[in-house]
Structure 1
Amino acid sequence: MSSRITQSTTSLVVLFQIISFGLAAPVTTTEALVAAVNGGTPGETIEVGPGTFELSAPLVPKPGMTISGAGKDKTILTGAASWKPSPQSLPDPEMKTQGLDPQAYLVRLPDKAANVSLAGMTLRGPSLHGAIYGYGPTNLHLHDLRIEDTLWCGIRTFSMQRARIHDCEFIDAGGRWKRGGKPGIDGGITGGAIFAVWMKDSEIAHNRFTRAQTSKADEFYGIKCRQGKRSRIHHNTIEVNFSVELPFENDEDVEIDHNIFHGTISIPKHAGGPVPESGRTFHIHHNCFRDSYSIEFVRNGVEIDHNLFDFDVQKDHGNLISGFGKAPAKGPASFHDNLVSNPGRGVIWINEPYSNLAIHNNHIVARTTTTPRSEGLFGFHRDCDFDTIAIRDNIIECIGQPRPLLRSRESYRSTIQNNILTNVSDIDQLDNPQTDAKPGLSTPLKFDCGVHGELIVDGWKTRPAN
């Protein structure tokens, strides 16, 4: 009988603990929040109630811990007025941890922490370097956050693996640091809302990036990454001048799709960089681009397809694809099944010699721009291996201002075949033999893009999803 009573009592205690845990009241003061995080155990969930929580030091969640607020508009974590980390380490050194200040962030993840989750709150500076810092996190889950008004970046990580960052808002979450806050004093390298060094097997989706404060520096990067592997960036709306920057390091199987980009994607690598075993560094597809300076090149192993490049004739400052280097790049790259409306300076201009480039099944409409632009639509270095460059099966129309297809005499050695050309001024210099293949897009272009598919692309036209 005694044993049965003991077992029953134990069961009741466990049941009471479970019920108590499930009904635990959210923390409602800064002191309670700090105590809950510092005194919590790995794997614990901490609910944070509505209110503003002014921190004077970073929160350091345990591995596996979840910190969940009452909503972006209800729970606000911010730095106390007395917490003003020195800006002397800004801009931080980018590729190394020595010289940056990991204590200048609202949340400082333990090194190599796994399974940390933050959700349902606003993380706000304004005197802090950033909102979240982590070295070596795995399975980091950040969602339904608003990160705003930080000096250098929003989320700053090194060696991040299997992360999911989704349904977040980034407002003025970093930028080019001006020393002393004085206009015109260049602080160097620009920060980013998400700034990851060595990111693998991760997903960044359904996030919105905006610049709201005109007093901030003009430059603001949405997503910066130094080496991305097997990661996907999709369904984001990035309304800043540099949307995505993934240059220099050796990237592999990075998919960039179904985004709205108001700025540039930058992916250059000296001599184009190595091509991984998979054969692909970047796949850029089903995006809507709004700026005529859309993609910084060069990179080998790239496929750019099924995008809408829709530019304002009054803003004709850029080549759609621009390469500024000098080292020859072997390729390959393909640009196909894209719609291009109103290229500014041109569609592709590559300063360095580039080989193994296929441009096919695109529809390009060049209208008279404000300048007006009259350059050739494609500009290649005279030392390219033109035997490996093909412009075929495209529809290319110049409405108003005639424009040549090519900018240099040597470029006419390219394979130019089966294009429909209208008002192209150098048509007499092009062989352009016809085949049985159908020029233009292989299939009609229709897709959704932006945060939760907020924009529908239907051929040349776009409309809100709702």
Structure 2
Amino acid sequence: MFSLKQTFLLILLAITAQATCAAEPIANTADLVAAVRDAAEGTTIEIAAGVYELSAPLEPKAGVTLQGAGMEQTILTHVAGWKPSVQTLPDPEMTTKGMDTQAYLIRLQDKADGITVSHMTLRGPQLHGAIFGWKNADLHLHHLRIQDTLWTGVRTFSMKGAKIHDCEFIDAGGRWKRGGEPGVDGGITGGAIFAIWMADSEIAHNRFVRTQMDKANEFYGVKVRQGKRCRVHHNTIGVNFSLEFPFENDEDVEIDHNVCTGTISIPKHSGGPVPESGRTFHIHHNWMRDSYSIEFVRNGVEIDHNLFDFDLQKDHGNLISGFGKAPAKGPATFHNNLISNPGRGVIWINEPYNQLVIRNNHIITRTTATPRTEGLFGFHADCDFKTFVIRDNIIECQGEARPLLRRDESYGSVIRNNRLTNVSDIARYDNPPSEEPAGLEQPLKFTCGVHDEFTINGWQAQPSTSP
């Protein structure tokens, strides 16, 4: 015989088991809308495989999890009649005033923390984006396919502690047209992930694919207006501007182990302040594919252990390009990189810049399509060249000879222990040897891209083999 206490516990267990068994995944749109509307904070809502056509955004509360059955199994999209106007696009970027925050499949409730959305496809060919959020801490987005959105994929303000990983962004923005005019108007400033004031967040193992947009227009894989203590790593970004962190005061942003077919843009007027840590950006262990790889200027930057691997037929860019006019104090270091086939050059900075160290790189130039004959490094005449150091590099010009420097004043730089082959201006500067080794301090070998899909071994980049 059971005691009264034991009997009570058995009844409680039976009721709990019955309730658990009765909790079936949501299987139709009406139930999904009701479940999200009525869910208590912290509820997990499972959504069965199927297509769910919404006529207004889902608005999950704090702690709510929306979990589908998998990409291309659970598909959230919109009814034909839900077609927000594009007259508010491009949106105003730094404010929600004048922005249509309801033109998204999922609009997180303001200041609702701890929301998770996973394992589904969000498709919005008529909507501005897939997910919008304002001041949502600890947002977790994973195993999502975000596809065919007009302006952006994920649009957030004041995002802290976020994790966005294992997602696919396919034509997720930059596709809107104004009225019946031909062409794509919206690809200039939109981004698949477009975050304003992002801190303590991680973006990793995501794939960004662009198939439908006008190739003449710019579009960003990840665009952030101010990032602090964030890491963007192991992404494969197949758009023409891979990452952009423009204008605001960024600090301790790490960009590593990505495959970037486009530019990483980090410009700031006068280079911006350097935080207490001494570093604004650390860009390392990336495979960069476009000769216009990094848009400058920024102070407090370290760029190292990357493979810059460019097509001889696409020699349009300087690897690092600075287009501004306001003097910047630096510092920046560029070291232990492999550079194959720089186009116009390796570094060109229009504005005066100080405290630049270029060391232990291996650069191989070959005759390009144009062909390019400029000096590999071009700097403003007003730079403080006493603070420029070019040392311990290996520079080989195969085919067309090229000078090291473009401007007479640049020869005031500290130049030493570089191993130079077919460099045409060697008579214009001393290059005293030292006992330090030239070139990379260690062989370059790393993996990069979504779940380490590529292996970089010296100059070679190959698909990684499964263990």
TM-score category (smaller protein): over 0.9
8 Å contact from structure 1 (residues 176, 189) kept in 2: no
Check 1:369–1:294 CA distance in 2 against 1; reply closer, same or farther (3 A cut).
same
Q: Give the Cα–Cα distance (whole angstroms) in 2 for the partners of residues 88 and 334 of structure 1.
A: 44
8 Å contact from structure 2 (residues 293, 318) kept in 1: yes
8 Å contact from structure 2 (residues 187, 219) kept in 1: no
Which amino acid counterpart does residue 253 of structure 2 have in structure 1?
A: V
8 Å contact from structure 2 (residues 149, 175) kept in 1: no
Check 1:22–1:197 CA distance in 2 against 1; reply closer, same or farther (3 A cut).
farther
Alignment of 1:40-439 (within 5 A): 40-175=39-174, 177-180=176-179, 182-184=181-183, 186=185, 189-214=188-213, 218-439=217-438
User: Which has the larger displacement, 186-195 or 421-430?
Assistant: 186-195
User: Which has the larger displacement, 447-456 or 208-217?
Assistant: 208-217
Unpaired stretches in structure 2, ≥5 consecutive residues: none
Check 1:22–1:460 CA distance in 2 against 1; reply closer, same or farther (3 A cut).
farther
Which amino acid counterpart does residue 277 of structure 1 have in structure 2?
A: E
Match of 1:30 in 2: 29
Q: Give the Cα–Cα distance (whole angstroms) in 1 for the partners of residues 415 and 14 of structure 2.
A: 76
Q: Give the Cα–Cα distance (whole angstroms) in 2 for the partners of residues 142 and 372 of structure 1.
A: 46
Q: Give the Cα–Cα distance (whole angstroms) in 2 for the partners of residues 100 and 119 of structure 1.
A: 26
8 Å contact from structure 2 (residues 174, 187) kept in 1: no
Q: Give the Cα–Cα distance (whole angstroms) in 2 for the partners of residues 215 and 390 of structure 1.
A: 42
Residue 409 of structure 2: SS of its match in structure 1?
A: helix
Residue 462 of structure 1: SS of its match in structure 2?
A: strand
Residue 144 of structure 1: SS of its match in structure 2?
A: strand
Residue 132 of structure 1: SS of its match in structure 2?
A: strand
Q: CA deviation at 1:114?
A: 0.8
8 Å contact from structure 2 (residues 70, 120) kept in 1: yes
Q: CA deviation at 1:79?
A: 1.1
Check 1:19–1:337 CA distance in 2 against 1; reply closer, same or farther (3 A cut).
farther
Q: Give the Cα–Cα distance (whole angstroms) in 1 for the partners of residues 38 and 101 of structure 2.
A: 21
Q: Give the Cα–Cα distance (whole angstroms) in 1 for the partners of residues 397 and 175 of structure 2.
A: 39
User: Which has the larger displacement, 213-222 or 232-241?
Assistant: 213-222
8 Å contact from structure 1 (residues 177, 217) kept in 2: no
So what's the TM-score if we normalise by structure 1?
0.97
Residue 16 of structure 2: SS of its match in structure 1?
A: helix
Check 1:215–1:348 CA distance in 2 against 1; reply closer, same or farther (3 A cut).
closer
Deviation string 1:267-309 (CA, Å, 9 cap, x unpaired) is 0000000000000000000000000000000000000000000
Q: CA deviation at 1:20?
A: 2.4
So what's the TM-score if we normalise by structure 2?
0.97
Q: CA deviation at 1:214?
A: 4.6
Deviation string 1:33-92 (CA, Å, 9 cap, x unpaired) is 111111111101111011100000000111101010000020100011110111111111
Q: Give the Cα–Cα distance (whole angstroms) in 2 for the partners of residues 390 and 305 of structure 1.
A: 16
Residue 178 of structure 1: SS of its match in structure 2?
A: coil
Residue 456 of structure 1: SS of its match in structure 2?
A: strand
8 Å contact from structure 1 (residues 119, 144) kept in 2: yes
Which amino acid counterpart does residue 357 of structure 2 have in structure 1?
A: A
Which amino acid counterpart does residue 343 of structure 2 have in structure 1?
A: G
Residue 87 of structure 2: SS of its match in structure 1?
A: helix
Identity of aligned residues (%): 69
Q: Give the Cα–Cα distance (whole angstroms) in 1 for the partners of residues 306 and 10 of structure 2.
A: 60
8 Å contact from structure 1 (residues 126, 149) kept in 2: yes
User: Which has the larger displacement, 238-247 or 180-189?
Assistant: 180-189
Q: CA deviation at 1:216?
A: 7.9
Q: Give the Cα–Cα distance (whole angstroms) in 2 for the partners of residues 375 and 136 of structure 1.
A: 48
Residue 46 of structure 1: SS of its match in structure 2?
A: strand
Which amino acid counterpart does residue 84 of structure 1 have in structure 2?
A: K
8 Å contact from structure 2 (residues 174, 184) kept in 1: no
Which amino acid counterpart does residue 266 of structure 1 have in structure 2?
A: S
8 Å contact from structure 2 (residues 68, 120) kept in 1: yes
Q: CA deviation at 1:19?
A: 4.8
Q: CA deviation at 1:182?
A: 2.3
Q: Give the Cα–Cα distance (whole angstroms) in 2 for the partners of residues 39 and 325 of structure 1.
A: 52
Check 1:440–1:215 CA distance in 2 against 1; reply closer, same or farther (3 A cut).
closer
Residue 226 of structure 2: SS of its match in structure 1?
A: strand
After the TM superposition, which segments of 4 or more aligned residues of structure 1 sit over 3 Å from their partners?
4-11, 184-189, 214-218
Q: Give the Cα–Cα distance (whole angstroms) in 2 for the partners of residues 381 and 95 of structure 1.
A: 32
User: Which has the larger displacement, 212-221 or 314-323?
Assistant: 212-221
Q: CA deviation at 1:356?
A: 0.2
Q: Give the Cα–Cα distance (whole angstroms) in 1 for the partners of residues 255 and 10 of structure 2.
A: 52
8 Å contact from structure 1 (residues 418, 432) kept in 2: yes
Q: How many residues align?
A: 465
Which amino acid counterpart does residue 199 of structure 1 have in structure 2?
A: M
Q: Give the Cα–Cα distance (whole angstroms) in 1 for the partners of residues 95 and 325 of structure 2.
A: 27
Q: Give the Cα–Cα distance (whole angstroms) in 1 for the partners of residues 180 and 382 of structure 2.
A: 46
Check 1:99–1:15 CA distance in 2 against 1; reply closer, same or farther (3 A cut).
farther
Which amino acid counterpart does residue 358 of structure 2 have in structure 1?
A: I
Check 1:169–1:48 CA distance in 2 against 1; reply closer, same or farther (3 A cut).
same
Deviation string 1:247-273 (CA, Å, 9 cap, x unpaired) is 100000000000000000000000000
Q: CA deviation at 1:23?
A: 5.5
User: Which has the larger displacement, 217-226 or 314-323?
Assistant: 217-226
Check 1:206–1:397 CA distance in 2 against 1; reply closer, same or farther (3 A cut).
same
Q: Give the Cα–Cα distance (whole angstroms) in 1 for the partners of residues 180 and 307 of structure 2.
A: 39
Q: Give the Cα–Cα distance (whole angstroms) in 2 for the partners of residues 134 and 323 of structure 1.
A: 33
Which amino acid counterpart does residue 37 of structure 2 have in structure 1?
A: N
Residue 33 of structure 1: SS of its match in structure 2?
A: helix
Q: Give the Cα–Cα distance (whole angstroms) in 2 for the partners of residues 184 and 59 of structure 1.
A: 31
Q: Give the Cα–Cα distance (whole angstroms) in 2 for the partners of residues 309 and 24 of structure 1.
A: 53
Q: CA deviation at 1:29?
A: 0.6
Deviation string 1:378-418 (CA, Å, 9 cap, x unpaired) is 00000000000010000000000000000000000000100
8 Å contact from structure 2 (residues 187, 218) kept in 1: no
